[in-house]
Amino acid sequence: MSELSKRIAELSPEKRALFVQRLSSIISSEEAQNRDEQATTTGSVPLTQNARWFFGLNLPAPHHWNLASLSTVQQDLDPTLVRQVLQHLLVYHDALRLRFKSIEHDWLSFIAPPDTVVPFTWIDLSEKNESEQRHNIEETATKLQASLNLEEGPLFKVALFNLGPQGPNRLLFIVHHLLADLYSLDILREDFSNAYQQLSQGKSIQQPLRTTSFKRWAERLAKYSQSGDLQQELDYWLTLPWAEIAPLPLDYPAQLHEFPLSSSTRRISIQLSSAETRALMQKRGVGTNSTHNLLLTAVVMAVGQWLDSDVIGVTIVHHGRDIDCDGIDLSRTVGWFAGAFFLPIRLDKSRDVHDVLQCVSEQYHSIHHHRHSANILLNITRDEELRQRILPCLRNHIHFNFSPSTSTSLGQWTPSPEFAGPTNSPLNPQVETERLRFITEFAGDKLHLTWIYNEKEFRQETINDVARNVYMLA
């Protein structure tokens, strides 16, 4: 007999009955919650911190701010089955039915019921030559990108292009960023692939049990934003040394502007070889977190040398799904969860990489449990004192986005050579708060280290020097 069983047996009949009643109540509550997650979700949804940030931009064309994926699919897809799969996904993933309505200088969001109309376009280009096919694909993609409707929907569209003997199918996914992040786009593509294979084999669609619905997560966020726990988080963020962050030394300080212009945005990219990538991944432990901290350390050391400063402001992107919250599982939920948190990193006086790595890692992990609260405070409760401390210095932060290598079950899906259309309206400014962005991406087994900057603020030689230093330090 276990220790718990012994203790239950020692209880009086009255206390034992009360214990069983409470236990049954807990089990029943969890079972009811699980049943609720599997039901089709509709109705009003509180705006999340990401949605409030987005609408706070007051973009001229808010309907056109998308994510897109244009893939070459070796399998010959049946449009009828594709339509059935999409109908299933629209029911299964409630966020795909989100709508947004502007009322008296504010926005409301809700999840619409499933519709019988599937946002799917099939275009037969089998009689066209290769040049005409490319033109038609890119022209259609451009039109679809601009066709989403925040209030009426849909905010998710799919197009299938049949190229006939000229080549394999092209499959285009377009989704408004308010509904999804890049992680969500991977979920959609994977669910589509699995569901299609099941239907093509004469089987019914069987998906994993739903994880936490986007609606329930948004409701939990709204409740948390009114709690005393968030006040404690505010106290934490106010203690950080925002005023000590060194400004970035602009080469052309006379040309300041609020948002960088896309026409003057430039990229510097260093591709590591397969051997260099493996060596980097194996340094100081194995795993993406070790590589993340190593690259973060290299970036702040290189920038610290450039600025001759010991406090570097960094905006660190995270996927936003590792939530320390009972009953919440966002691992396979579609929605815009990805976000960023802001960290003034104080460098160790030592110039030894090992010492600085330990110093940076400790600061990064010390903020781990606080990383979700900053954007709630800035964009939902809109705490004025915190906004005055953080927002003015963000232009001097380094945007750091480490994208670890991910495996995929999409089989023969590969990126298409054609252009998927502009994901952002030309009427909208390029919204990048930080002047300097560092992005890492895996292409196969090779790691790309990319710096994005504005040539009206920095000379190419300046950013080249920083990029080379990061490469050498990593």
CATH number of the domain residue 186 falls in: 3.30.559.10
* Over residues 215-243, mean pLDDT: 92
Which of these ranges, 24-33, 135-144, 192-201, 314-323, has the smallest mean pLDDT?
A: 24-33
* Over residues 384-389, mean pLDDT: 94
Query: Is residue 152 located within the same domain as residue 263?
Result: no
Whether 25 is in a domain gets the answer no
Q: What's phi and psi for 81, nearest 5 deg?
A: -70, -35
Quick check: 158 and 148 in contact, CB under 8 A? no
Query: Is residue 52 located within the same domain as residue 173?
Result: yes
Query: Is residue 279 located within the same domain as residue 166?
Result: no
Query: Is residue 358 located within the same domain as residue 467?
Result: yes
Whether 13 is in a domain gets the answer no
Which of 17-26, 250-259, 421-430 is predicted most confidently?
Answer: 421-430
Whether 131 is in a domain gets the answer yes
Whether 236 is in a domain gets the answer yes
Nearest to 388 by CA among 377, 376, 372: 377
Whether 346 is in a domain gets the answer yes
Residue 285 pLDDT level (bands cut at 50, 70, 90): very low
Percent of the chain at pLDDT above 90? 64
Where is the domain boundary, 189, 214, 239? 214
Whether 221 is in a domain gets the answer no
Find the CATH number of the domain harbouring 355: 3.30.559.30
Domain count, the chain: 2
What would the pLDDT profile of 101-140 be if each residue is shown by its tens digit? 999 889 999 999 998 889 999 999 999 999 999 999 999 9
Please tell me the pTM assigned to this model. 0.85
> What range does the domain containing 281 cover?
227-473
Query: Is residue 241 located within the same domain as residue 166?
Result: no
Residue 2 pLDDT level (bands cut at 50, 70, 90): low
Query: Is residue 388 located within the same domain as residue 469?
Result: yes
Query: Is residue 66 located within the same domain as residue 186?
Result: yes
Nearest to 222 by CA among 49, 37, 41, 29: 49
Note the pLDDT of residue 280.
84
Query: Is residue 247 located within the same domain as residue 173?
Result: no
Note the pLDDT of residue 433.
81
Whether 30 is in a domain gets the answer no
Judging by beta carbons within 10 Å of its beta carbon (0-12, 13-18, 19+), is residue 374 exposed, middle or buried? buried
Where is the domain boundary, 191, 214, 237? 214
Query: Is residue 266 located within the same domain as residue 414?
Result: yes
Whether 17 is in a domain gets the answer no
Which of these ranges, 13-22, 57-66, 285-294, has the smallest mean pLDDT?
A: 13-22
Note the pLDDT of residue 407.
47
Query: Is residue 142 located within the same domain as residue 244?
Result: no
Residue 309 pLDDT level (bands cut at 50, 70, 90): very high
Between 64 and 372, the more confident residue is 64
Which of these ranges, 131-135, 209-213, 439-443, has the smallest mean pLDDT?
A: 439-443
Query: Is residue 169 located within the same domain as residue 97?
Result: yes
Quick check: 328 and 212 in contact, CB under 8 A? yes
Where is the domain boundary, 160, 189, 214? 214
Query: Is residue 260 located within the same domain as residue 369?
Result: yes
